[in-house]
């Protein structure tokens, strides 16, 4: 499953980051790393982007980027 598949309120643990290049690097520098827990907070009114909580701060990213992030659901 990927991050954009999680619904608001659901949590996941990152298992893989598929993005490449600067986007990958930016994501990793902001703490989006394998093994890290995320929680999807909101989906923007027009369906994109999404807001997640990671490392106790709020991050927004587009679904396109979120799709490259594989997660496993966490209760």
Partner 1 sequence: MSLNPAQKYPDTIPAIDTGKVMGLKRPLTLAVAGNPNAGKSTLINALAGTRLQVGNWPGVTVEKKSASFEANGRKIHLIDLPGTYSLSPYTQEEIVARDYLVQEKPDVIIDVVDVTNLERNLYLTIQLLELGLPLVMALNVYDEALQKGYVVDIKGMEKMLGIRVIPTVATKKTGLDELLAAVTELADHPLPRSLKILRYDQDIESAAAVVAGHIQADHPQLAEKYPVRWLSFKFMEGDEQIIEETGLTPDDAAVTQAVDHLIKAHDSDIESIMADARYSLAAGLTQEVLKKPELRKIELTEKIDRIVLNRWLGIPIFLGAMWLMFKLTFDVSKPLADWLTAVTTGPGKRWAAALIALLHGPDWTASLVTDGIMAGVGSVLVFVPVIFAMMFFITFLEGSGYMARAAFVMDRAMHSIGLHGKSFIPMLLGFGCNVPAIYATRTLENTRDKALTALLVPLMSCGARLPVYIVFIGAFFAAHAGTVLWSVYVFGIGLAILMGLIFKRTLFRGEAPMFIMELPPYRMPSFRSLMIHTWEKGKHFLIKAGTYILAVSVLVWFLLNLPWGVTQKQDSYLGRLGQAVAPIFKPLGFGTWEASSALISGLVAKEIVVGTMGEIYVKRAEEEKKAAPPTLTEDLKEIGTSLVMALRNSATNVFSSFAPSSLSTAEDESRAGLKTAIQHTFTPLSAYAFILFVLLYMPCAVVAIAMRQEFGTWKWFGIAFGYQMVLAWTVAFVVYQGGRLVGLG
Site of interaction with partner 1 (CB under 8 A): 17, 22-31, 33-34, 41-49, 51, 55-62, 65
Query: Could you tell me where the beta strands, DSSP code E, fall in 1-75?
Result: 11-17, 37-43, 50-54, 57-61, 69-74
Which is nearer to partner 1, 33 or 74 (by Cβ)? 33
Q: How far is the CB of 3 from partner 1 (least distance, A)?
A: 12
Q: Which is nearer to partner 1, 38 or 61 (CB)?
A: 61
How far is residue 10's CA from residue 14's CA, in Å, rounded to a whole number?
13
Cβ nearer to partner 1, comparing 10 with 48: 48
Q: How far apart, in whole angstroms, are the C-alpha atoms of residue 48 and residue 45?
A: 7
């Amino acid at each position: 499953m990927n991050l954009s598949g999680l619904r608001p309120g659901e949590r996941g643990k990152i298992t893989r980051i598929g993005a490449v290049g600067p986007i990958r690097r930016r994501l990793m520098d902001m703490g989006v790393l394998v093994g890290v827990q995320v929680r999807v907070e909101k989906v923007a009114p027009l369906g994109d982007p999404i807001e997640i909580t990671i490392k106790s701060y709020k991050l927004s990213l587009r679904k396109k980027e979120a799709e490259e992030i594989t997660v496993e659901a966490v209760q």
